[in-house]
Amino acid sequence: MGGAGPRKARSFVHPILISFVFPEFLSRISLVEIGLTAVAIAGLFLWLRTRERFSLRGFGFWVAVYALARYLAWYAGPGYEFKLHTYGVLIAVGFVLGIWLAMRQAHREGLDPGIILDLSFWILIAAMVGSRVLFIIVNIQDYIADPLALIKIWQGGLVFYGGFIGAVLASWYYCRRHGIDFFRIADIMIPSVALGHVLGRLGCFTAGCCHGMPTGSDWFGAIFHDHGTVVARNHLLGTPIHPTQLYDAAVELSIFVFLILWRGRKRVHGELLALWLMFYGLGRFVVEMFRGDTERGMLLRIDLFGNPKYPQLLSTSQIVALGLFAFGLGLLLLLRKRPRQAPVERPDESKTQEPAAVSARDSQPPPSFPA
């Protein structure tokens, strides 16, 4: 079309998924009742789906849901505007989808899926705490100046590395305490980590955190307009910037597909974990070169692209990425020295009316971690 200028980069970012103002007729008591009813319905649905007798599995999850409902009822009131942030929704969807995927794989390998459900509760707590703590440590001066920012997780401020470290420590302790092979569980869980991280990075994109540096182009890049995002605090509203959140999501999605395809070819337990450490460490190092949020922590300020305001080397995350790659490579070489393990026998549903519930101790080899 004649006279048309260069194509402009567009913004598809929606930080707020749903905004709801509590009607005047709702009281704090009615909000509590609504929350308890939702918990009861969800619990009944879960029982009807599983047909299991009551146990402590998932009990902590329902306690957390109840506590959230109570908090919302106490904090909110008539006329209060409740905003459901896309960031939190995508993280929650990623976590639930990851649990389902891991439970499905555990069942296919003849393990009790309840082990995954139990472990996931502790992983959730450890990951959230670890991701927030690491971000606070890196940006401690900002939180000293504004202590209330400690609880504003809907604005971003969750470091994946911190969450991953917390989740690994919680998983290792859980497996050691219950006599479970850590590497076997890790191989079941790590594809879920990759898939969940894909959705988490999409959440980062909607919140504007973990953003990239300016592209220097009018037609390529993501444009943010919301003043509540990290992009606004870094004075980049209306500027096309690298969608590094999407770059990272693409890396994790590729790794997820590879792990699913490689799972049937692995020689020993722990191999998938080692491969993820190597591939993600390498991919994350490259993505970090296009990041524009220098508040994430820079050890050196080396500029390779002629833009000293946004140095490409060397961030804290790049150091961790190199550590992940080195640790994954060492772990893979160490695991390859072990004798090849027999393929996992999956339940033959044609010979049994229902799959056997195999306990963790009866269905697995002795723990492979040091005493």
| pLDDT tens track for 5-54 | 444 444 455 666 666 665 655 555 555 556 666 666 666 665 555 555 44
The candidate with the shortest Cα–Cα distance to 255, out of 325, 322, 320, is 325
- Which are the contacts of 10, defined by CB distance < 8 A and separation ≥ 6? 223
Interval 147-203: pLDDT, tens: 666 555 555 566 777 888 888 898 999 888 888 889 999 999 999 999 999 998 988
The answer to whether 106 and 188 are in contact (CB under 8 A) is yes
**Identity of the amino acid at 35:** G
pTM (two decimals): 0.71
- Give the whole-number percent of the chain exceeding pLDDT 90: 20
How do strand 313-315 and strand 298-302 relate by DSSP bridges?
antiparallel
Interval 68-92: pLDDT, tens: 555 555 555 555 566 667 777 888 8
Q: Check the CA dihedral 19-198-166-97 and report its sign.
A: positive
If one compares 281 and 77, the residue with the highest pLDDT of the two is: 281
Is residue 233 classed exposed, middle or buried when 0-12, 13-18 and 19+ CB atoms within 10 A define those classes? middle
Q: Which two tokens stand for residue 284?
A: 């994350």
How do strand 313-315 and strand 16-21 relate by DSSP bridges?
unpaired
The answer to whether 120 and 57 are in contact (CB under 8 A) is no
* CA dist., res. 339 & res. 268, Å (int): 8
Q: What is the pLDDT of residue 198?
A: 93
**Identity of the amino acid at 261:** L
pLDDT band, residue 356 (cuts 50/70/90): very low
The candidate with the shortest Cα–Cα distance to 187, out of 92, 93, 131, 108, is 108
Following DSSP, what letter does each residue of 130-183 receive, concatenated?
HHHHHHHHHTHHHHHH-GGGGG-GGG----HHHHHHHHHHHHHHHHHHHT--HH
Q: What is the pLDDT of residue 338?
A: 79
Work out the mean pLDDT of the chain and round it to a whole number: 74
If one compares 220 and 148, the residue with the highest pLDDT of the two is: 220
The answer to whether 89 and 327 are in contact (CB under 8 A) is no
